Homo-oligomer: A and B are copies of this chain.
Amino acid sequence: MAGRAAVPEVIWARPERTGRGPKPAFTRAGIAAAAVRIADAEGLDGVSMRHVAAELGCGTMSLYNYVPRKEDLYELMVDAVGAEHEMFEPTGDWRADMLRNAEETRAIMYRHTWVPRLMPGVHGFSPNTLRYLEHCLACLEPLGIPAGTKTELIALLNGVVTTYTANDIATVERTRSMPWSEEEENAVRMAYLGSQVATGAYPRLAAAFMEQSGPVDLEAVFRRALERVLDAYDPELR
């Protein structure tokens, strides 16, 4: 008798190993790594319990000994890529340090384009998340504001990084395993947008559309947004 949970559960609160019984053949880290490998290679939709189990070389239902629900597998995956954050020694320049953190988060998401889609469902208290939070707080040590405001800054910055990067990634992820290329998709979308704007129903939008010359530099837009957010918390600028 296994006995399913009738009470809320955070997977991180359940110990990976309790004394009794045969030694487990796999670890959470190994399972997470397998799932991440599949998601990177085939997209998030390729991550099924069956598929992950096959990758590990075990029966499908054996996975459920380690991961009570699929949602928890997602939790493991997000935590696993969180380990890719470099927890560097703070330099004393909180702005530069936080910028670096943000750029790193963005880079991680570009490496694992499925992360943004998972973010809304995730608890946010996994070991690596906590370590990252602690690291950010260390970077913000020189900044003379209350701890509560610091965590608000971190949350805001992470939110901005996530939405911006999610948006930039969306097209790439959408065209994965489609019979057309990213450029084709973009062309079709831009043509549609142009046709809408041309109806005259959106005059101000049309003006903004005309004002821009050449393609948008997503990276520059992203960095400008970061700078603005940091400005908003910089005591020297207010």
A-side residues, CB < 8 A to B, are 6-10, 12-13, 116-117, 119-125, 127, 130-131, 133-134, 137-138, 141, 146-148, 150-152, 155-156, 158-160, 162-164, 166-167, 170, 174-175, 178-180, 184-185, 188-189, 191-193, 195-196, 201-205, 207-208, 211-212, 221, 224-225, 228-229, 231-233, 237-238
Contacts and interface: CB of A to CB of B under 8 A. Distances in A.
A123 to B, nearest CB: 7
Contact of A156 (B6, B122, B123, B160): B160
A188 B9 contact: yes
A193 B125 contact: yes
How many copies the complex holds: the figure is 2
Contacts of A150: 208
5 closest Cβ contacts across the A-B interface? A159-B163, A137-B204, A147-B208, A228-B232, A232-B232
15 contacts: A7-B184, A8-B175, A8-B189, A10-B188, A12-B196, A13-B188, A116-B120, A120-B166, A121-B170, A125-B192, A131-B201, A137-B204, A156-B160, A158-B163, A159-B167
Contacts of A117: 120-121
Contacts of A156: 160, 225, 228-229
Contacts of A9: 188
Nearest to A169: B120
Contacts of A233: 228
Contact of A221 (B152, B184, B211, B231): B152
Given A178-B8, A184-B7, A225-B156, A134 B192 contact: no
A88 to B, nearest CB: 16
A8 B192 contact: no
A53 B134 CA distance: 49
B238 A133 contact: no
Contacts of A127: 196
